[in-house]
Amino acid sequence: MPGRQLDVLEANEAFYRAFSERDADAMEGVWAEQAPVACIHPGWDALDGREEVLRSWRAILEGPSAPDVRCTLATAHVMGDVAFVVCREELPGAVLVATNVFTREAGAWRLVHHHAGPLAPGQAKPSRPVRGPVN
């Protein structure tokens, strides 16, 4: 796997590490500072701009119901200085599918867009079964 794909997957893992450790400061560091960012949480309307997006993450991570999340089956598509990752998010009682778009800023991959939505029960592809009681 080319090094750039690994670098993108590492940035993707940093995002999920900040998420699962409920570390709002680390989450802030994951997102792009120059490129305009956006975010679509499951069931939510689209959020626009760094301030609105980071405010939502701070509320989620500091709230009482911040979910434990585990990223699995991540694949990176790199197109020059922009990349997107498709992955699973495994939470207690639910499995989501996510798209994370990254761009390079000052040599580092930074998140510009996150979109997660539910994987319906029974819809996991046979080649990528869900591990756990959900499906």
135/126 Cα distance (integer angstroms): 11
Q: Which is nearer to its own copies, 25 or 45 (CB)?
A: 45
Q: How far is the CB of 22 from its own copies (least distance, A)?
A: 23
99/88 Cα distance (integer angstroms): 9
Q: Which residue has the tokens 């911040």?
A: 66
Q: Which residue has the tokens 């626009």?
A: 48
58/56 Cα distance (integer angstroms): 5
Q: Which is nearer to its own copies, 23 or 56 (CB)?
A: 56
Q: How far is the CB of 21 from its own copies (least distance, A)?
A: 25
**Cα dihedral value 90, 96, 101, 104, nearest 10:** -10
Q: How far is the CB of 44 from its own copies (least distance, A)?
A: 5
Q: Which residues bind its own copies (CB under 8 A)?
A: 35-36, 38, 40, 42-46, 48, 73, 75, 77, 79-82, 84, 86, 97, 99, 101, 103, 112-113, 115-120, 123-125, 128
Q: How far is the CB of 23 from its own copies (least distance, A)?
A: 25
